[in-house]
Amino acid sequence: MKKLLFMALLMASTTPAFCQTAKDDIKKVITTMFDGMRKGDTAILRSAFHKDMVLQSVVNKRDGSTALVTEKADDFVKQVGTPHKEIYDERITWGDIKIDGDLASVWTPYKFYVGSQFSHCGVDFYQLMKTATGWKIIYIVDTRRKDNCVE
């Protein structure tokens, strides 16, 4: 009985620390992606992505309908890495982070700026997988709009 109680107390005391460390590691991967975007550095950007990452957006079309648009990760990386005058600056607010073993999900409201000019806002939703080399982004889906932005 003492062993069972000891094990329960040990697990209860270490789980929050593990969870917080994992959350910090996940935040670091997403922050690294944004650092790569701001610098236009494709190597930094790719370091955050799993080789099979999927990138999608839920968009509202002019006719009022909603569509799911899929972009190739390589096209996104190329766009970020192609020289451009202004910095791509996506500013997020950390939201909910959920972890189950080697799978994590992250919800982050954001505002996107091209240089100092506001472009759009929405929500990013990330799925990450823990690999032998650490957490990697396997899926991103976002929304995009010009108004009703979260402060």
Classified as helix, coil or strand, 20 is: helix
Nearest Cα to 52, choosing from 140, 151, 144, 147?
140
In CATH, what number does 2-143 get? Answer: 3.10.450.50
* Region of residue 108 (phi > 0: left; psi between -120 and 50: alpha; otherwise: beta): beta
Per-residue pLDDT of the chain (151 residues; tens, 9 = 90+): 555 444 444 444 445 555 679 999 999 999 999 999 999 999 999 999 999 999 999 999 999 999 999 999 999 999 999 989 999 999 999 999 999 999 999 999 999 999 999 999 999 999 999 999 999 999 999 999 988 887 5
Note the pLDDT of residue 16.
54
